[in-house]
Every structure is written in C-alpha cells, then in structure tokens.
C-alpha cells in the first residue's frame, strides 16, 4: 500500500505538471499583449491636449522680456535659463478662472520637477511643470542569474504641453488664477533648471462634460464587432517622474512570469504613489467603435484605503466620470480586474477611431485633499490652544494646582470640543469616500476621545498640554500619523484592457497552477542561484571574484550591480561579486571565522577603528596614491575616526550634514532674524518661549545617552578637546572644554531649550519648534513628506562661536558610512582598484542619479565626494549652505577608551541638566573615570604598562601629520 501510494502520488504530480504546462501555454497564447512600437514623439504630442472646454488666448512671446530686456526667439523657442525671469502681458476679456499652459522641453533635465515661481497682481505662487522621462532601453538587462533589472532612466527632450501645477497643494492640481477683466503682467522664473519654451497660452477653466453629455455628442455609431487590446503596464512609453518603475513579482497570475527568474511584470505601487505622477501608454485599435477600459490592479497601501487616478485618452479626460477614479483595496498581494463603471454600476465607454491612441493615468488625492486641509486646520487650532495654555502656566506643569478655565481661558474648552467634533466629521467623510470603515484612520477616533477626556475635567487641562501638541503621545502627533497616509496614493498595475468583448481574461489562475508553482519554487529555494537572487552574502575561499559585501538594502545593491556590469567589469575585466550583508554583526563573525570578503561597503564609519586596532583592516596608505586621490575629491577631515596610529584604514563614502532649519513664515510673524551665533539663539529664546515655541538642539533628540555627534560641536566650537595631545589622558577638564560644557548645559538650564524633542521633523512641521538644528534625514522628510510647507522653510549654517577676528566657528560632525579592505585579502590591488573606482566622482555621480531616478527622491544619495555633490540636483542656495557647513566639519578621533569618554561626557550633561548637579563636580568625576579607563585600554594594547608608564607613542594627531605630508609631497613635486 505504501509503495502504491507513492507511485500514485508521483503519477498525480506528473499529470499536474503536464496539465499545468499545457494550460499555461494556452493561456499565454490566447492573451498575448499587443506589441506596439513605442514612439516617444507620438506620446509627447498627446501628453496634454486642449479639451476645447474654454477659449484659448495665445501669448505673444515676441513681446516678452527676460530680466527686463527684449529677447530674440530661435526656431527652437524661447530659452529661459535657471533663475532668469520671463515677463509678459495678458489681456483678460472676461473675468474668470484661468490656467497657464506651457509648451516646453528641458535642457539637461535634473532628477526632479521643474520648479517655477509665478508672480501676478502682487501674488506669488510656487508652481511646477513635469518633465518627460523614459527607460533607456525597452529590453530589460539581466543580472548574472537571469533576473531582469530596472532600466536606467533618461530625460526625453521632446516638447510637451502642460498647465502649470500648484506645487504647494498636496493634490498637485493645475494652478488656478482668478483674473479680473483687463491687463495683467505675469513674471515666470525657472528656479531649478533651464527650459526651452515654445508656446504659452491662457485657457479659461470650465466644467467638463458629464458621461451623458459625452455620449450625446458622440451620437449613434455603428457596432465595430468584438476586440481586445492588452497593454502591459510596465511597457509604458513615458512618465512624469524617473522613479516610476516596473517591479518583478513572483505571482503566476501576472504576466510575464517565470518560476526561477524575477521578471518585471507590474508597475511598482510604491513608485507611483504621489499625487501628480503620470504615466502614458500607446495602443492601437483595428476598428472604430465604443470601448470599455479595465485594469488588473492591486492596491493595499493601508487597510480599507482607496487610491485615485484620473484617466486621459489622447491627452484629454473625455468626461467627469474619468476624473478621480477610485481603486478600492484589493487585499495583500491580490490582483483583480476592474472595469470602469459609473456611479450606478454601468460600464463606461469611450469612442475610439481606428488607429493609434494614448492612454494616461495621473495619480490624484481626489476627495481626500479636503480631509487633508481640514485635518491641518484642526491641528493648528489644537496647537493654538496648547500655546495659550503654556502661556497661562508659564511653561511649567504643577499637578497640585487647578485652574478655573471659565475665568482664565474661557474659549479653550469649547474650542477643543469643536476640534473633537471636526475630527469625527473627517472620520465620517473618510468612511463615505471609501464606502467602508477607514481602519487606516482609526487614530482619528482615539484623538477625538482624548480631547473629550481632557475637556471633561477643565480645571486640570493646563497641566496636560503635553497631551495636546507636544511629544509622541499628543493628539497632534496622532493626527499627523493620519495626515501622511492621506497623501500617499499607491497603485500597482499588471495590465490594461481596451475591449468590447463579452469577457476579460481571468485575473487568477487555478489552484493547481498555484500548487505546482509552489512546489517548483520550494525545490528551487535549495539551489545556490536562489540565494544569489537576493544577493545573499556567501563566501568562496578560492573564488576568482572580488567579493564585496554591502551593508545596504537590496535596491542600493541592484543599482550598483548595474553600474558595475556596465562600467567596471567591462573596463577592467574583473568580476565583482556583490552581496548584501544583513547586519554588521555578521562582518565581525565572518572575520573571526576567516570567511570575510575582500571589500566591505556601507559600514558605520565608527566601527572601522575596531577592525583596525585588531589588525583586520588594511592600511590604505600602503597604496601610494590613496592620500592624494582622496584629498582631491573629499574632505580629509572625514578620515579622522578611521585613523589609528598614523595610518588610515577606511574611506568615508557618505556624509550627513547638520544645518539650521527654520520656518520662514513663523520667524517673519515673530519679527525674528535667523541666528548666526549661540548668543543670537539666546537672544531669541524669550520670544519663542513667550509663544510656547522652542529651538531644537540635537542633544534633545537623543533620549538618555548623548553621543559625541551631539556634544562635540559645543566642545570644539570653544576650542576644547576630548583627549590630550599624547592620547594618554582626557582633555574634558581643560579650560576650553569647560567653556564648551558651560554653553552646552546653560542652553537648557538657563535659556530653557527643550530637553526632549523626540521627532524634530514633526515638531518643526507643526510649528511647535519652528527653528533648530537638523540633519540630512530631516531635509529629505521636509522635501518629500511635507507638501503643505513648500516655500515656508529654509536652511542656514548652524549657529557657532564668534572669534576675535570676527569669524564664526560652526564645527559639526558629518561622517556617515565608510568602506574598507580586509587585511587578509589575496586580491589587494584589485580590491583597491575597485574601491578607487567606487569612490571616484564619476561613479558616485552616476550612482546618485541612477539611484534617485530609479527609486525616487527618498533614495537621495548623500555622497561624501565633494566634486560629485556639487553636481547633484539640490537647490543652489541649499547647496551653498551644505558645502559651507561641510567646510566646518570636525570629527572626533577614535580611541581604545573612547566609549568611556563618550559615556562620561553624556553623564555630565544628564547630571547637570536633568539632575541639577554642579558642573565642575560632574566634569571632575567624568575626567577621573575616563583617565582610569584610558590607561587600562592603552595598557591592554601595549602602549603603556598598568601604571601608565609609556611604552610606545599613541597618536591622536594623524590628520595633522597627513596634511603636512601632503604639503611636503606637493612641495617636492613642484
């Protein structure tokens, strides 16, 4: 019985395999996608077409001026350089709402929207226009294991028409200009890049046709017979953002699909989630007629959330039913067919003439934008009440005191009750929009309940302001978590159907197909190629490859693999094997077991010293040209933590930056200037505190332990130090260091800087902390996730200490991640050649652009290569600030006892600020403990005996020696 059972099972599996194979072949043959020659110029000509709904007024470009001077227009059009302003007059025959439409193309497009400022009638608008992007090649390249790779992105320099977009609104609608009858002067400035403008027109905004009106205009048309056009969503012609991309999903219901290879078969929902993003496809129909439109899609960004898209055919939205089309939640990893229908459930059709056409989809926030602004207004109201309560209590909470709110602040309780009612109304509206309970917005219910609990006991309300608008547990923080969810509109597409057949291809495959694919995938998972598919870290002792481990997510590795394949391997003929290192602990274990790679990238710069002092990292000064090469493109100061005893054991590849962020709108309302020194900060603190606002100092962002990166600016700006010149004792108890400690603690004890700011981005966004020091992460968050603050914030160099000569010391740390070569590598020269190639300006620049264009603005590469950084797409004024701050980079050297010194410095701040102890007493105790540990650790590594008698020198001045060495070499070369 057992034998016969096994035979039966084998027969069933074989039958299943054969049957599944036949079904798959028949299915794919029956529902092959349409092969259309993608024509960028055709798609560009139909990017946006006049819909005929309103009169069009052409602007006479010949009469326009640039920077106040007359211009000459070439055959290409009007050339508008970055930061130049174009002025022209318009004559409005009838008062109304108008859109300004440009026909344009970029010159050397950068990886972002083309930002504009528009001035008219004394009003200034922050606007944008999209640029056209496409894949560099339509045939996907493959990695060594046959997996398809995301293609490089290229700017399409073809003319397109597009109305100017209101960039300050989260929904990115077209900019509506309310203009009175008569003459107006318009000033247009391109603030990011050069443009060539071929035409400018003014179009009066009018309502679009309903579906019934559209069908009445089309009239009676003959039956065209049955037809089905299948468009593969990942085979788009063009798009408005380079980071909209295809994605490979292992799902046999999707097309194309391969059990063993990763094939790109969908639009990645995370890359197509921002309002205003647009994709355009081409297709062809064989007959005139009415056609339905359907999509095989997946949408599971949040439970029960709906995403919205506007559909355009040949550059126009034919009727209102194709605006803000809702795509309901499908469930995780589920793809479903959805045919466009009217509100009453009837299929919508469009009339198409025989021939080529375009279909475009634009991401929208739709009705969620109103909820977004209602939420912002509610949060502002809660913040206002919170500030008023802070003024009442002078910023201190006395739990033993109660307040008669009807006397002191009678409007507070009614205002918060109204806010709770408004939150309930927003929640109900979200329910109505999605047609189901908005689980993703359940925090709104919690926020409303919290407000009602607070108002039930009014006399204690002033003591609970932290529950209103301060900190991670406040009502405003809870509301803010919903706010960010409203903006994102992800949608994944597998296929688009243009059809008038009776039925669509099924959106699922049979149970047997799923079962068979699962069996094949299971057995494939045991093969080496399956590990390689995910760049799993492996070790082959006798491998001819240079093995490189990378401490980064898979997206970063994929992009580097593309560049390695197209550039390095073809240039040098060396095979580079890239692998993902899941965490740095694996690197330590690999080194201990002798299975470490040749090169490692992306490790924390702070950890390289630990490998160096144990003889595991290679001294890069062994390579004659390293110092000259690195100093030519990087800041030599970045190497300070990577030095050990006059040698360099790694190279910094990425840098953070600390700059001063400030809300322009709030500082202007308060009449405050941007501070230049810490004395300026002290001067502005009383006024900030008067309005229950504050200043962020990075010390407040670290709860408990304060790392060197937060304390060193105060120490170094006052010319103090952590270690003595010989490295055998600490210098935290010297006069200059004590001055640094004094300033560091007085900012909190005397000038009342907030001691704990858990999330500076949120506090800055909501206006609670409208100014303060933040880093690269804060910068990206404000750029990507705070559209309502567009144009309302800026950056400046951090405050510093003014010197006797009038200069200002603005020292800050900057190092982030680094790379190194292992000492025991057998391919030292090849490893160094790869490291030099990786750190070069050309590679860093290409990597930065490819990474951001492939995966979006949140994947901005913060390269430490100064020459490459200067060519990245930052606003020019921001670029100047960041580069100026990097000129003030000051890193803390590593020391065997550094962990103890760091901890003791942190203890000084906590003892003085949090525990109210004396400063000098705390410093003396910290110095004593630090010196004891310094002698113990230097004795362990053979620099002195246990009594502190020096055996050999320990250098903490390596960088000064390297700078001197560079100067001598250059002098001898001269």
pLDDT above 70 covers what percent of the chain? Answer: 92
CB 379 within 8 A of CB 478: no
Give the pLDDT confidence score for residue 25 in this predicted structure: 44
Q: Average pLDDT over the chain, rounded to whole?
A: 88
* Structural domain contains residue 522: no
Separation of first and last alpha carbons in the chain = 91
Residue 951 pLDDT > 70, yes or no?
yes
* Structural domain contains residue 210: no
| Number of compact structural domains in the chain | 5
CATH number at residue 266: 2.60.120.260
Give the pLDDT confidence score for residue 304 in this predicted structure: 83
My answer on whether 711 and 645 are in the same domain is no
Which pair of structure tokens corresponds to residue 202?
A: 């003014």
CATH number at residue 851: 3.40.190.10
**Tokens 């020198």 found at:** 953
Q: Is 119 helix (H, G, I), strand (E, B) or coil?
A: strand
pLDDT in tens, 116-141: 999 998 899 999 999 999 998 888 88
How far apart CA 607 and CA 382 sit, in angstroms, is: 45
Give the pLDDT confidence score for residue 17 in this predicted structure: 46
| Region 488-503 average pLDDT | 91
Q: Using alpha carbons only, what angle is made at residue 789 by residues 784 and 793, rounded to the nearest 5 degrees?
A: 100
Q: Which of 244-258, 428-442, 673-687 has the lowest mean pLDDT?
A: 244-258
Give the pLDDT confidence score for residue 4 in this predicted structure: 53
Q: Which helix (H) or strand (E) holds 808?
A: strand 808-809
CA distances, 947 to each of 331, 601, 732, 917 (Å): 68, 40, 21, 32
Residue bearing the bigger pLDDT, 14 or 312: 312
Residue 795 pLDDT > 50, yes or no?
yes
599 torsion bin: left (phi>0), alpha (psi -120 to 50), beta (else) = beta
pLDDT in tens, 306-360: 999 999 999 999 999 999 999 999 988 899 999 999 888 889 999 999 999 999 9
* Structural domain contains residue 909: yes
Radius of gyration of the chain, Cα coordinates, nearest whole angstrom: 32
Q: Which of 2-11, 230-239, 320-329, 397-406 has the lowest mean pLDDT?
A: 2-11
Give the largest CA-CA distance in the chain: 103
pLDDT in tens, 434-460: 888 999 999 999 999 999 999 998 888
Q: Which of 360, 278, 355, 348 is nearest to 313 (CA)?
A: 360
My answer on whether 91 and 133 are in the same domain is yes
Give the pLDDT confidence score for residue 21 in this predicted structure: 46
My answer on whether 503 and 433 are in the same domain is no
| Region 536-553 average pLDDT | 72
* Structural domain contains residue 959: no
CB 186 within 8 A of CB 63: no
How far apart CA 430 and CA 482 sit, in angstroms, is: 11
Residue 538's CB is within 10 A of a number of other CB atoms, namely 15
My answer on whether 919 and 791 are in the same domain is yes
Treating both helix axes as pointing N-terminal to C-terminal, what angle do 554-563 and 841-855 enclose, rounded to 10 degrees?
130
**Tokens 């469009």 found at:** 350
pLDDT in tens, 890-937: 999 999 999 999 999 999 999 999 999 999 999 999 999 999 999 999
My answer on whether 297 and 335 are in the same domain is yes
What range defines the domain where residue 934 resides? 659-813+895-941
One DSSP character per residue, 466-535 reads GGTSSSTTSHHHHHHHHHHHHH----EEEEEEEE-SS-PPPSS--HHHHHHHHHHHHHHTTSHHHHHHTT
* Structural domain contains residue 431: yes
Residue bearing the bigger pLDDT, 520 or 251: 251
Q: What residue ranges in 542-642 does DSSP mark as E strands?
A: 546-550, 576-580, 599-604
My answer on whether 172 and 60 are in the same domain is yes
My answer on whether 549 and 566 are in the same domain is yes
* Structural domain contains residue 12: no
Q: Which of 123-137, 200-214, 574-588, 915-929 has the lowest mean pLDDT?
A: 574-588
pLDDT in tens, 348-402: 999 999 999 999 999 999 999 999 999 999 998 998 888 888 778 776 677 778 8
Torsion of CA 328, 331, 334, 337, to 10 degrees: -20
pLDDT in tens, 263-279: 999 999 989 999 999 99
Q: Which of 631, 642, 658 is nearest to 817 (CA)?
A: 642
My answer on whether 823 and 803 are in the same domain is no
What's 834-848 look like in SS3? HHHHHHCHHHHHHHH
Contacts of 449 (CB under 8 A, 6+ apart): none
Q: Which of 804, 774, 798, 796 is nearest to 786 (CA)?
A: 774
CA distances, 319 to each of 46, 217, 294, 324 (Å): 17, 11, 17, 11
Q: Which helix (H) or strand (E) holds 65?
A: strand 65-66
My answer on whether 872 and 771 are in the same domain is no
My answer on whether 356 and 249 are in the same domain is yes
How far is Cα of residue 453 from the mean position of the Cα atoms in its chain?
A: 37
My answer on whether 110 and 156 are in the same domain is yes
Q: Which helix (H) or strand (E) holds 793?
A: strand 793-796
**Cis peptide bond upstream of 382, omega within 30:** no
Give the pLDDT confidence score for residue 395 in this predicted structure: 66
Looking at residue 544, the DSSP 8-state letter turns out to be S
CA distances, 330 to each of 249, 254, 307, 326 (Å): 16, 15, 11, 12
Residue 26 pLDDT > 80, yes or no?
no
Q: Which of 112, 114, 126 is nearest to 170 (CA)?
A: 126
Out of 204, 228, 258, pick the residue that ends a domain: 204
Residue 538 pLDDT > 70, yes or no?
no
pLDDT band at 968 (very low <50, low <70, confident <90, very high): low
Torsion of CA 732, 734, 736, 742, to 10 degrees: 60
Out of 479, 508, 537, pick the residue that ends a domain: 508
pLDDT band at 539 (very low <50, low <70, confident <90, very high): very low
Q: pTM of whole model > 0.85? A: no
303, with CB counted inside 10 A (0-12, 13-18, 19+), is: middle
* Structural domain contains residue 704: yes
* Structural domain contains residue 968: no
Q: How many residues does the chain have?
A: 974
Give the pLDDT confidence score for residue 839 in this predicted structure: 98
How far apart CA 258 and CA 85 sit, in angstroms, is: 53
| Region 826-845 average pLDDT | 96
**Tokens 């084998």 found at:** 10
Q: Which of 391, 390, 459, 378 is nearest to 426 (CA)?
A: 378
My answer on whether 476 and 494 are in the same domain is no
């Amino acid at each position: 019985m057992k034998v016969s059972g096994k035979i039966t099972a084998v027969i069933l599996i074989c039958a299943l395999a054969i049957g599944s194979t036949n079904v798959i072949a028949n299915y794919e043959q029956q529902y092959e996608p349409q092969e259309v020659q993608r024509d960028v110029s055709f798609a560009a000509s139909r990017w946006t077409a006049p819909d005929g709904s309103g009169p069009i007024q052409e602007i006479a470009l010949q009469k326009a001026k640039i920077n106040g001077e007359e211009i000459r227009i070439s055959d290409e059009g009007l050339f508008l350089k970055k930061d130049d302003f174009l002025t022209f007059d318009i004559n409005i025959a009838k008062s109304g709402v108008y859109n300004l439409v440009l026909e344009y193309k970029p010159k050397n497009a950068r990886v972002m929207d083309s930002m504009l400022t528009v001035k008219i009638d004394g009003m200034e608008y922050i606007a944008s226009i999209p640029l056209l992007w496409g894949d560099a090649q339509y045939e996907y390249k493959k990695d060594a294991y046959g997996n398809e790779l995301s293609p490089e992105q290229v700017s399409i320099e073809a003319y397109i028409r597009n109305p100017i977009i209101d960039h300050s609104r989260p929904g990115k609608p077209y900019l509506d200009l309310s203009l009175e009858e008569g003459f107006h002067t318009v000033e247009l400035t391109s603030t990011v890049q050069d443009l060539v403008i071929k035409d400018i027109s003014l179009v009066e905004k009018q309502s679009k046709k309903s579906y019934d009106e559209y069908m009445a205009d089309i009239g009676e048309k003959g039956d065209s017979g049955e037809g089905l056009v299948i468009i593969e969503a990942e085979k788009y012609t063009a798009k408005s953002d380079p980071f909209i991309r295809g994605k490979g999903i292992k799902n046999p219901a999707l097309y194309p699909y391969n059990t063993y290879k990763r094939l790109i078969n969908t639009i990645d929902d995370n890359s197509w989630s921002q309002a205003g993003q647009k994709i355009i496809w081409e297709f062809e129909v064989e007959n005139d007629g009415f056609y339905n439109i359907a999509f095989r899609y997946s949408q599971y960004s949040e439970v029960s959330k709906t995403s919205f898209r506007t559909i355009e055919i040949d550059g126009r939205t034919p009727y209102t039913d194709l605006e803000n089309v809702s795509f309901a939640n499908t469930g995780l990893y589920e793809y479903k067919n959805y045919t466009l229908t009217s509100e009453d459930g009837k299929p919508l059709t469009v009339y198409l003439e025989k021939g080529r056409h375009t279909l475009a989809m634009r991401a929208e926030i739709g009705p969620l934008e109103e909820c977004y602004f209602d939420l912002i207004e509610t949060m502002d109201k809660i913040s206002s009440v919170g500030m008023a309560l802070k003024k009442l209590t002078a910023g201190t909470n006395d739990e033993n005191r109660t307040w008669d709110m009807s006397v002191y602040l009678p409007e507070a309780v009614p205002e918060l009750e109204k806010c709770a009612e408004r939150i309930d109304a927003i929640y109900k509206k979200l329910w109505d929009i999605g047609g189901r309970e908005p689980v993703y917005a359940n925090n709104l219910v919690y926020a409303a309940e919290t407000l009602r609990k607070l108002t039930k006991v009014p006399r204690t309300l002033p003591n609970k302001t932290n529950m209103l608008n301060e900190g991670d547990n406040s009502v405003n923080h809870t509301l803010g978590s919903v706010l960010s969810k409203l903006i994102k509109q992800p949608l994944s597409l597998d296929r688009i159907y243009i059809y008038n057949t009776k039925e669509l291809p099924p959106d699922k495959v049979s149970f047997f197909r799923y079962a068979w694919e699962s069996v094949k995938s299971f057995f494939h998972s045991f093969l080496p190629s399956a590990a390689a598919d995910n760049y799993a870290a492996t070790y082959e002792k006798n491998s001819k490859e240079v093995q490189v481990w990378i401490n980064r997510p898979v997206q970063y590795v994929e992009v580097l693999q593309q560049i390695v394949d197209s550039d390095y391997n073809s240039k040098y003929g060396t095979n580079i094997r890239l692998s993902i290192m899941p965490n740095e602990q694996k690197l330590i274990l690999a080194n201990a077991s002798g299975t470490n790679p040749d090169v490692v990238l992306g490790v924390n710069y702070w950890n390289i010293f630990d490998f160096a002092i144990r003889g595991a990292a290679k001294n890069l000064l062994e390579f004659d040209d390293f110092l000259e090469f690195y100093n030519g493109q990087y800041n030599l100061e970045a190497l300070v933590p990577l030095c050990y005893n006059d040698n360099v054991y790694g190279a910094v590849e990425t840098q953070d930056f600390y700059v001063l962020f400030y809300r322009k709108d709030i500082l202007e309302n308060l009449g405050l200037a941007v501070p230049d020194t810490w004395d300026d900060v002290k001067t502005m603190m009383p006024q900030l505190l008067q309005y229950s606002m504050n200043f962020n100092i990075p010390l407040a962002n670290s709860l408990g332990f304060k790392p060197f990166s937060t304390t060193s600016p105060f120490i170094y700006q006052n010319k103090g130090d952590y270690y003595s010149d010989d490295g055998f004792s600490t210098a935290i108890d010297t006069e200059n260091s004590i001055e640094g400690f004094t300033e560091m603690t007085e900012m909190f004890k005397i000038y009342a800087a907030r001691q704990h700011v858990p999330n500076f981005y949120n506090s800055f966004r909501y206006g609670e902390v409208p100014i303060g020091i933040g880093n690269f992460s804060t910068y990206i968050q404000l750029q990507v996730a705070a559209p309502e603050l567009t144009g309302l914030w800026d950056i400046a160099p951090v405050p510093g200490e003014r010197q006797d000569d009038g200069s200002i010391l603005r020292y800050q740390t900057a190092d982030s991640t680094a790379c190194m070569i292992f000492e025991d590598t057998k391919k030292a020269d090849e490893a160094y050649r790869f490291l030099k190639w990786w750190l070069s300006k050309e590679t860093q620049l290409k990597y930065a652009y490819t990474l951001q264009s492939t995966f979006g603005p949140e994947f901005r590469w913060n390269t430490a290569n100064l020459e490459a950084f200067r060519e990245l797409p930052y606003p020019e004024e921001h670029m100047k600030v960041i580069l100026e701050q990097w000129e003030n980079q000051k890193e803390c050297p590593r020391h065997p006892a550094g962990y103890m010194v760091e901890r003791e410095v942190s203890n000084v701040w906590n003892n003085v600020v949090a525990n109210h102890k004396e400063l000098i007493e705390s410093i003396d105790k910290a110095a004593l403990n630090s010196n004891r540990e310094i002698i113990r650790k230097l004795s362990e590594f053979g620099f002195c005996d246990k009594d502190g008698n020096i055996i050999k020198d320990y250098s903490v001045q390596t960088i000064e020696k390297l700078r001197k060495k560079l100067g001598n070499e250059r002098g001898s070369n001269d």
